[in-house]
Structure 1
Amino acid sequence: MPHLALYTFGVLKSPLADPAPLTREFYDIGEAVYRKIRQQPGYLAHAEAADGVQGMLFEADWGAWGEFAVPTWYGKGRTVETTALATTLSLWTDLRPACDAVYTGLHREALNRRYDWFERTEHPNYVFWWVADGVIPTWQDGVSRLEHLHDHGSAPHAFTFRHSFAPDGTPTRTKGIGPKSDQVH
């Protein structure tokens, strides 16, 4: 049975290494959100660096998730001191569990505060696509799907909650997913 891949990407207002209280708060909330997400029904896995330290993304060993990559529109730093982005790559059993994880509980609370931490952009900040059972999506897969979504809109190749597709490519709707569901970060 296919699994649902989810890639999220946001440009932060300040580097991850910034010692300001708002950055520390983002880290603290992020760690708590990940603990909750891991417990969600339908959650399968997410990319974790095998040897990374907080804020080290480009240099980390991501194992089966591949070499770290970012969209072409990311123009900030790439070192531990200058990186100003937050990104995730995860696998889910289906769209409904992913929706429930994103739009309820602690993640919903963090989502309501996204503009405290993230810059507003005209680029999409997340994308879904289906992968065959046993396939681990790579960071480059996520980037190319997000860029495809930006350039072409939702399609079976790359889609959003609001304009989603079943594994066979047919358009689908998930109850409770409406017009405001296109913002994950």
Structure 2
Amino acid sequence: MPHLALYTFGVLKSPLAEPSPLTREFYAAGEAVYRTIGQHPGYLARAEPAQGDRGVLFGADWGAWGEFAVPAWYDKGRTADTTALAATLSLWTGLRPAFDAVYAGLHRAALNRRQDWFERTRHPSHVLWWLPEGTVPTWQDGVGRLESLHDHSPAPHAFTFHRAFTPEGAATRAGDQAE
């Protein structure tokens, strides 16, 4: 049975290392969201650095998830002091569980605050794609598919929750998918 990969990417208004109240709020919300999502039905795994270093993305050991990568349009810092982005890479059993986790509960509350934390861009903030069971997506996979989604319309190899596809390539809606 295929699994679903989800890559999210956003450019923050300020670096992760900045000690502002908004940065602290973002971290606090993120930690709570990760705990909740990690217990959501259909959640399989997410990319985490081996050392668990908060705010360290570039140069961290991500194991099977590969070297950390970002879209070409990211033009801010790449050091622990200057990085101003949030990215996730996760694996799910299906479209409906991922949709439910993203658009409900703590994550939904965090999405409602995204204008406080993230810059507005003309780029997509997430991309989904199917992969064979047992396959671990890499950061580069996510970046490539997000860039493809930006350059082209959603398609079976790179799509969104609102313009989704089944593993067989048929158009669908995330809310219509049952497990």
SS state at 2:4 partner: strand
Judge conservation of contact 2:77–2:84 (CA < 8 Å) in 1: yes
Alpha-carbon distance, 1:176 to partner: 6.6
With the length of structure 2 as denominator, give the TM-score of the two structures.
Answer: 0.97
Cα offsets for 1:11-52 (capped at 9, x unmatched)? 000000001111011001100000000010000000000024
1:30 is matched with 30
Query: 1:74 and 2:63 equivalent?
Result: no
Alpha-carbon distance, 1:173 to partner: 2.0
**Structure 2, unaligned stretches of length 5 or more?**
none
Distance in 1 (alpha carbons) for counterparts of 2:80 and 2:175: 41
Judge conservation of contact 2:96–2:176 (CA < 8 Å) in 1: no
SS state at 2:175 partner: coil
Distance in 1 (alpha carbons) for counterparts of 2:51 and 2:34: 18
CA distance 1:105–1:176, shift in 2 (3 Å): farther
Distance in 2 (alpha carbons) for counterparts of 1:119 and 1:79: 19
- Of the structure 1 ranges 168-177 and 36-45, higher mean CA displacement relative to structure 2 is found in 168-177
Cα offsets for 1:70-115 (capped at 9, x unmatched)? 0000000000000000000000011110111011101111100001
Judge conservation of contact 2:99–2:175 (CA < 8 Å) in 1: no
Query: 1:115 and 2:118 equivalent?
Result: no
2:18 is matched with 18
2:4 is matched with 4
Distance in 2 (alpha carbons) for counterparts of 1:52 and 1:93: 25
SS state at 1:78 partner: coil
Supply the AA of the counterpart residue of 2:133: D
2:157 is matched with 157
Distance in 1 (alpha carbons) for counterparts of 2:9 and 2:23: 17
1:180 is matched with none
Alpha-carbon distance, 1:174 to partner: 3.2
Distance in 2 (alpha carbons) for counterparts of 1:125 and 1:173: 18
Distance in 2 (alpha carbons) for counterparts of 1:20 and 1:175: 37
Alpha-carbon distance, 1:127 to partner: 0.1
Alpha-carbon distance, 1:175 to partner: 3.0
Judge conservation of contact 2:130–2:167 (CA < 8 Å) in 1: yes
Query: 1:84 and 2:84 equivalent?
Result: yes
Percent identity at matched positions? 73
**Structure 1, unaligned stretches of length 5 or more?**
178-185
Alpha-carbon distance, 1:153 to partner: 1.4
Supply the AA of the counterpart residue of 1:63: G
What aligned pairs does 1:40-79 form with structure 2 within 5 A after superposition?
A: 40-79=40-79
With the length of structure 1 as denominator, give the TM-score of the two structures.
Answer: 0.94
Residue-pair matches, total: 177
Supply the AA of the counterpart residue of 2:142: G
Alpha-carbon distance, 1:59 to partner: 1.3
Alpha-carbon distance, 1:172 to partner: 1.3
Distance in 1 (alpha carbons) for counterparts of 2:139 and 2:13: 22
